């Protein structure tokens, strides 16, 4: 046990996040902090895009973010973030490069109504949708190179949504609850205007996870075993028969997940997984509006794991990882359903603040589309560099 404690202490020191941008203070309790987050990827893909079977070499910004956060006073905080994601990436379906476009990713106010209490918090604005664990895992502190491509994101307001949430931690942080009301699907093609309701809970059996967001790995600084579940609902999101404006359908989504990470004298072991299901009453297979996402009738699961070697190799720490994902799209055509096999490693120069990641992916479709190379089996290799300031 003594060795474990020494290892945890060493890793904690080396992997302390350096999110240390400049801070401006004003008054006794108020401040603003500026941060810059940068991810650039080099990628090989065994097809160019849906109509071209030739291989592709690509370089693009995965994330390119500027962040302002701070406190108005001891009870009210704020968070504002802009991003130009995927800039320069060749889209695998259209073959077009993603243009440079700056989007407001987050813009919210956080309120702590009870002083020195973690039991009740409020969030108002645009912020992360609270259903799936992997969406809530920090994309700048993941285990693999990124989250899943589709499965972790809900069909409507997939990663972020606009609304409000109440959440908190009870029983010394062992139990966390969340309840969110947001816009969801608001297009004019819906049968009625309605709100979206999402709830999530988790139980921490070892060290508590008390933040609103999770991490894909804590790099040996905690012993974690957390079990979570969530439910998502919005009525009247689509017509099954859109031309006739008939057969309105409701949206339901749910998930169960588990996360385990344990530091030992031989290294840090990480394992997590989730089952996720989205359902809009099979509207996608009848005659829906053309903007209804194909993920509106999707179920699947993933499992991922990693091992952080306890000693430096060169000037950093090595963490091999793997991920397997199974996606079942409920389409009558049989297309899109696939299995994804991924493996790679993180090389931490200064924790998540400065790292290199490599990941190899093999995607195998249950039924290949002979007219679309993006829906045929393919291989992909990605080399990523990340700097957080």
Rounded mean pLDDT of the chain?
93
pLDDT at 116: 87
More confident residue, 2 or 169: 169
pLDDT grade, residue 1 (50/70/90)?
Answer: very low
Q: What are phi and psi of 13, to 5 degrees?
A: -70, -45
- Check if the beta carbon of residue 270 is closer than 8 Å to that of residue 261: yes
pTM of the model: 0.92
pLDDT at 29: 83
Residue 18: pLDDT over 70: no
pLDDT at 19: 60
What CATH number should be reported for the domain holding residue 118? Answer: 2.40.160.10
Pairing status of strand 30-45 against strand 224-241: unpaired
230 Cβ contact list (under 8 Å, min separation 6): 130, 131, 132, 198, 199, 200, 201, 253, 254, 255
Residue 251: pLDDT over 90: yes
Q: What is the pLDDT of residues 126-163, one digit of tens each?
A: 999 999 999 999 999 999 999 999 999 999 988 999 99
Nearest-Å Rg of the Cα atoms of the chain is: 22
How many domains, the chain? Answer: 1
Structure tokens at 6: 């020494």
Count of Cβ atoms closer than 10 Å to residue 332 Cβ: 9
Q: Is 134 helix (H, G, I), strand (E, B) or coil?
A: helix
Residue 5: pLDDT over 90: no
Pairing status of strand 338-348 against strand 103-111: unpaired
- Check if the beta carbon of residue 203 is closer than 8 Å to that of residue 171: no
149 Cβ contact list (under 8 Å, min separation 6): none
- Check if the beta carbon of residue 284 is closer than 8 Å to that of residue 331: yes
193 Cβ contact list (under 8 Å, min separation 6): 186
Using CA atoms, how far apart are residues 165 and 110, in angstroms rounded to an integer? Answer: 10
Q: Is 13 helix (H, G, I), strand (E, B) or coil?
A: helix
pLDDT at 14: 37
- Check if the beta carbon of residue 383 is closer than 8 Å to that of residue 42: yes
pLDDT at 174: 97
Domain that holds residue 165: 2-388
C-alpha distances in angstroms, 253 versus 153, 188, 239, 375? 11, 22, 18, 25
Residue 4: pLDDT over 70: no
Using CA atoms, how far apart are residues 336 and 368, in angstroms rounded to an integer? Answer: 8
pLDDT at 189: 96
- Check if the beta carbon of residue 276 is closer than 8 Å to that of residue 151: yes
Count of Cβ atoms closer than 10 Å to residue 8 Cβ: 19
Q: What is the pLDDT of residues 59-70, one digit of tens each?
A: 999 999 999 999
Share of the chain above pLDDT 90, in %: 92
Using CA atoms, how far apart are residues 315 and 280, in angstroms rounded to an integer? Answer: 50
Using CA atoms, how far apart are residues 93 and 255, in angstroms rounded to an integer? Answer: 29
Averaged pLDDT for residues 344-363: 97
258 Cβ contact list (under 8 Å, min separation 6): 225, 226, 227, 228, 272, 273, 274
Residue 74: pLDDT over 50: yes
Q: What is the pLDDT of residues 283-318, one digit of tens each?
A: 999 999 999 999 999 999 999 999 999 999 999 999
For residue 69, give the nearest of 28, 114, 22, 115 by alpha carbon. 22
pLDDT at 9: 40
Structure tokens at 349: 């120069």
Q: What is the pLDDT of residues 196-235, one digit of tens each?
A: 999 999 999 999 999 999 999 999 999 999 999 999 999 9
């Amino acid at each position: 046990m003594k060795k474990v404690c020494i290892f945890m202490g060493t890793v904690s020191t080396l992997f302390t996040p350096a999110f240390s941008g400049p801070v401006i203070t004003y008054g006794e309790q108020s401040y603003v902090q500026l941060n810059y987050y940068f991810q650039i990827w080099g990628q090989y893909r065994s097809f160019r895009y849906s109509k071209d079977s030739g291989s592709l070499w690509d370089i693009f910004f995965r994330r390119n973010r500027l962040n302002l956060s701070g406190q108005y006073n001891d009870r009210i905080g704020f968070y504002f973030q802009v991003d130009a994601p995927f800039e320069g990436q060749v889209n695998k379906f259209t073959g077009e490069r993603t243009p440079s476009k700056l989007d407001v990713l987050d813009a919210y106010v956080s309120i702590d109504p009870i002083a020195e209490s973690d039991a009740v918090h409020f969030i108002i604005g645009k912020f992360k949708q609270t259903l799936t664990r992997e969406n809530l895992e920090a994309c700048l502190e993941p285990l693999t190179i990124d989250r899943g491509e589709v499965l972790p994101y809900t069909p409507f307001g997939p990663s972020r949504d606009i609304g409000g949430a109440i959440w908190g931690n009870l029983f010394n942080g062992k139990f966390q609850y969340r309840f969110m009301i947001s816009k969801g699907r608001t297009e004019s093609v819906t049968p009625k205007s309605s709100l979206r309701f999402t709830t999530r809970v988790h139980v921490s059996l070892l060290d508590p996870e008390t933040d609103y967001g999770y991490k894909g790995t804590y790099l040996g600084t905690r012993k974690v075993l957390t079990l979570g579940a969530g439910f998502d609902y919005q009525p009247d999101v689509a017509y099954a028969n859109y031309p006739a404006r008939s057969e309105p359908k409701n949206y339901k989504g749910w998930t169960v997940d588990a996360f385990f990470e344990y530091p030992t004298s031989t290294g840090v072991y990480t394992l997590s997984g989730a089952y996720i299901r989205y359902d809009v009453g099979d509207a996608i297979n009848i005659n829906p509006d053309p903007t209804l996402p194909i993920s509106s009738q999707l179920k699947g699961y993933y499992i991922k794991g990693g091992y952080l070697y306890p000693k430096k190799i060169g000037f950093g720490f090595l963490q091999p990882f793997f991920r397997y994902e199974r996606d079942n799209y409920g389409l009558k055509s049989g297309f899109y359903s696939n299995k994804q096999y991924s493996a790679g490693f993180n090389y931490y120069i200064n924790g998540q603040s400065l790292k290199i990641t490599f990941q190899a992916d093999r995607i195998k479709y249950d039924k290949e589309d002979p007219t679309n190379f993006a829906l045929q089996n393919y291989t992909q290799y990605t080399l990523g560099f990340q700097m957080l300031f």
